[in-house]
Amino acid sequence: MDFDLGEQAAALRARLRELIATHIAEDYLGAFTTDPADLDVAQRFCKTLADEGLLTIAWPTEYGGGGGSVWDQTVVREEMWAHHEPRGAQYMGLNWVGPAIMAFGTDEQKRQHLSAIAAGDVIWCQGFSEPDAGSDLANLSTRATPDGDGWRLNGQKIWTSYAGMAQWCVLAARVGSGTRHEGITMFLVPMDTPGITVRPIRSMLGAHHLNEVFFEDAWAGPDAVLGGIGEGWAVIRKALAHERVGIARYARCERLLSALGRELAPVWDQLPPALHSQWARALIQVRVARLLAYRTVRAQEVGETPDVMASAARIAVTQCDQQVAEVLFQALDDESLEAGVRAPLHGAVEDHWRYAQAATVASGTIEVQRMIVSKALLADRSGGRS
């Protein structure tokens, strides 16, 4: 039994922290603020990581990656999220769009897209959810209709993060008249295609996070299909498996709880004892969430498909995100309402609380995760009886 990630991971962590300390300001709160300069910081940092060979450290070498382990990937995820994801929107391309293209793409698609993602040049968005297809994604109704040698795309996507800044979209659309999983097909579509309109949705999360995307007779070429006609569900499953372990929310929680201890040190003894206990319990929850996430990574490492485990980890991680947000707010009391660099911890707590409110919804609601976990529990039981 060993929980040590090893010297290589420790060295990688140290190197990433050094780069972050050099290139990212202490009060940086991510790319998606009202200040466009923050997006520029993220784009520049991606180029820096690419130059250092760190942006795609976990990609296979044949695709220009570093051939790193799943643990290297884990360290990158943790350090980036702990420091307000200075890769901005590009994490999506790195975490799952690239790997999905490696798994399902044609040689031409790989040639066109993988090097661009690896160079830190491109932002992707994912066109999955629709007004009538949220948790029930298989109910999607965006259509792809044959037109000449290509396709006409019609429909509406919603909650699409970064659509306003993305150059490319992985779009899930239905070909033919099938229902549920039948006919679902993935398309790689440039966002500047005529017929695509993006409308930002005002939300408590901040700019760029949520958008509606409308497709009105937008044209996609024959080479836009990823993974074959009607084979989109397999791509989505792979994408979601990556995405569910993709955000190391616990890492930011841990950093903020640590920082809170230091920030409030002068008045620590005057805090209500109940708050001390909540703070300590929040640290435990963060540790538990991290360990459950590691269990999923370990399963990936040994070649298992950790669907149920990933859902369990996600339940713990997202609940932990919200629990920590509330503990931080309780500790800061009335100051919690302040935002911006003059607010406690440079506004990081206020930012975290707002963003945490969507944690149990984004990338598959906690209810869907509970359905997956309980189905497995009860299947074990019926398996035992048969």
Partner 1 sequence: MNPVLPDEAVEFAAAAGKAFADLGGVDAAREAEETPSLRATKVADVLRALGVDDLDPRADADTLAAAAALCEAAGRVALPYPVPSVLLRDRSGRPFAVVPDARCRVDHGDLFPTWRVATLDGRSTTATSTDHRLATRLGPFVSDLVAGTEAAASSSTDVAIDVAVHLTLTAWHILGTADRAVELAVEHVSDRIQFGKPLSAFQAVQFQLADAAVAVAGLRELALFTLWRLTVAPEAATADVLALRVHALDVARAVLRTTQQLHGASGVCDEYDISVLTRHVQPALRLPCSAERAAAELTAAIERDGFDGLFPHGSIAARSSAG
Residue 378 within binding range of partner 1, rule CB under 8 A: yes
Residue 119 within binding range of partner 1, rule CB under 8 A: no
In terms of CB distance, is 114 or 313 closer to partner 1? 313
In terms of CB distance, is 166 or 297 closer to partner 1? 297
In terms of CB distance, is 214 or 268 closer to partner 1? 268
CA distance 74 to 316: 17
In the range 225-284, which residues lie near partner 1 by CB under 8 A?
A: 254-255, 257-258, 261-262, 264-266, 268-269, 273, 276-277, 279-281, 283-284
In terms of CB distance, is 14 or 201 closer to partner 1? 14
Please report which helix (H) or strand (E) contains residue 376, including its range.
helix 366-385
In terms of CB distance, is 196 or 292 closer to partner 1? 292
Residue 77 within binding range of partner 1, rule CB under 8 A: no
Residue 368 within binding range of partner 1, rule CB under 8 A: no
* Least CB distance to partner 1 at residue 327 (A): 13
Residue 370 within binding range of partner 1, rule CB under 8 A: yes
DSSP string, 300-311: HHTT---HHHHH
* Least CB distance to partner 1 at residue 83 (A): 10
DSSP string, 25-80: -TT---S-SS-HHHHHHHHHHHHHHHHTT-TTTTS-GGGTS----HHHHHHHHHHH
Closest residue by Cα to residue 141 from 125, 158, 126: 158
Residue 251 CB partners (closer than 8 Å, separation 6+): 77, 78, 79, 81, 82, 290
In terms of CB distance, is 202 or 385 closer to partner 1? 385
Do 168 and 113 form a contact (C-beta atoms < 8 A)? yes
In terms of CB distance, is 204 or 280 closer to partner 1? 280
- Please report where in the chains the tokens 């799943």 appear, as a residue: 70
Residue 380 within binding range of partner 1, rule CB under 8 A: yes
Using CB under 8 A, which of the segments 32-40, 202-210, 228-236, 370-378 binds partner 1? 370-378
Do 5 and 65 form a contact (C-beta atoms < 8 A)? no
* Least CB distance to partner 1 at residue 334 (A): 20
* Least CB distance to partner 1 at residue 109 (A): 34
Residue 140 within binding range of partner 1, rule CB under 8 A: no
Do 210 and 203 form a contact (C-beta atoms < 8 A)? yes
CA distance 52 to 25: 19
Residue 4 within binding range of partner 1, rule CB under 8 A: yes
Residue 7 within binding range of partner 1, rule CB under 8 A: no
In terms of CB distance, is 4 or 107 closer to partner 1? 4
CA distance 130 to 139: 9
Number of residues that bind partner 1 (CB under 8 A): 53
CA atoms in the 13 A half-sphere facing the CB of 302:
6
Three-state DSSP at 119 gives coil
CA distance 93 to 49: 14
In terms of CB distance, is 54 or 253 closer to partner 1? 253
Residue 291 within binding range of partner 1, rule CB under 8 A: yes
Residue 28 within binding range of partner 1, rule CB under 8 A: no
Using CA atoms, how far residue 216 sits from 43, 154, 185, 198, in Å, is 30, 5, 18, 11
In terms of CB distance, is 109 or 360 closer to partner 1? 360
Please report which helix (H) or strand (E) contains residue 237, including its range.
helix 232-244
The angle that helices 70-82 and 249-263 make with each other, rounded to 10 degrees, is 40
In the range 292-321, which residues lie near partner 1 by CB under 8 A?
A: 292, 294-295, 298, 312, 315-316
Positions touching partner 1 (CB under 8 A) are 1-6, 71, 78, 82, 254-255, 257-258, 261-262, 264-266, 268-269, 273, 276-277, 279-281, 283-284, 287-292, 294-295, 298, 312, 315-316, 367, 369-371, 373-375, 377-378, 380-382, 385
